[in-house]
Amino acid sequence: MDISKGKLFFGFLCLFLLIHSAAAAQVPPLMTAPSGGTIGTPSKAEILGEFMDLALDLKNPSSGHSVTKWARPSVSVKVVGDTDEKSRYCLAEDIGEINNLTGSVDLRITGSGASDIDINFIPLEEFPLSVTGYSAGSEGDTSCVSQKGFLHKCSIWVPTTGVDEGTRCTILLHEITHAMGLFGHSEHGESILFQGTTARGYSPLDREVLRLLYNQALSPGFTEETVRGYFS
């Protein structure tokens, strides 16, 4: 991305996020959903089950199975590579919604220098050479470094070729959500974290799981036993 494009992109995102910013909410109770689920309203059991799959990644034997998230109040995000107007709009929308849902973490676009999350927009054909451990057929990837449940750095790869604008936005939100600490994949087709999802945004269950992850009562490093202890 040349300097002029970078300044224009940075200015666009700052303006968008300023317009869509909201006052920080007080920390909510650990569970706010009703005990009996209704259409569009996940039950407590559904939220907890999905949380275990997505946040603790219980079905992945190589996972640490502990709460992993950003614990700093501000997390910088840097865009690397050329992006189209639709992708810039989707990124601004995604950041705005994530900030509102987490309440305690503020994602902010940085124009240059070091960053906490790098979003690399590259041609799909370059993935095998650029993405460590790339799996054939993958159209997006996220790699993060953490210690004792505290996220320190994430790198995201989003394709600029091989997919249409709408699919690119879906991939972008899918990967950013992984970078927030939800590393698992959902079995619910409407979830943004369903593998091969065509969703264009978060499902009600996605929103509740992300809210729960960033509830201040759940500290980085909490294990399955500790998390379940809060809801017994």
**CA distance linking residue 186 with residue 143, whole number of Å:** 18
Task: Assess if residue 59 is contained within a domain.
Answer: yes
Which of residues 107 and 27 earns the better pLDDT score?
107
Percent of residues, the chain, with pLDDT higher than 90? 72
Quick one: pLDDT at residue 28? 54
Percent of residues, the chain, with pLDDT higher than 70? 83
Task: Assess if residue 30 is contained within a domain.
Answer: no
Task: Assess if residue 73 is contained within a domain.
Answer: yes
Task: Assess if residue 107 is contained within a domain.
Answer: yes
Quick one: pLDDT at residue 40? 72
Quick one: pLDDT at residue 112? 81
Domain that holds residue 215: 3-13+44-230
Q: How many domains is the chain partitioned into structurally?
A: 1
> Whole-prediction pTM value?
0.84
List, for residues 45-83, the tens digit of each pLDDT value.
Answer: 999 999 999 999 988 888 889 999 999 999 999 999 999
Residue 107 has pLDDT above 70, yes or no: yes
Quick one: pLDDT at residue 143? 96
For the CA atoms of 97, 103, 104, 106, the dihedral, rounded to the nearest 10 degrees, stands at 30
Residues 6+ apart with CB under 8 A from 42: 33, 50, 204, 205, 208
List, for residues 158-208, the tens digit of each pLDDT value.
Answer: 999 999 999 999 999 999 999 999 999 999 999 999 999 999 999 999 999
Helix (H, G, I), strand (E, B) or coil at 76: strand
Residue 93 has pLDDT above 60, yes or no: yes
Least confident of 9-13, 21-25, 71-75, 141-145: 21-25
List, for residues 129-151, the tens digit of each pLDDT value.
Answer: 999 988 888 999 999 999 999 99
Task: Assess if residue 158 is contained within a domain.
Answer: yes
Quick one: pLDDT at residue 142? 97
Task: Assess if residue 177 is contained within a domain.
Answer: yes
Task: Assess if residue 33 is contained within a domain.
Answer: no
Task: Assess if residue 39 is contained within a domain.
Answer: no
Residues 6+ apart with CB under 8 A from 152: 116, 145, 146
For residue 8, name the pLDDT band (cuts at 50, 70, 90).
very low
Residue 9 has pLDDT above 90, yes or no: no
Q: Phi/psi at 128 (nearest 5 deg)?
A: -60, -30
* Domain CATH number, residue 214: 3.40.390.10
Question: Does residue 156 contact residue 130 with C-beta atoms inside 8 Å?
Answer: no
The mean of the pLDDT values for the chain is 86
Residue 111 has pLDDT above 70, yes or no: yes
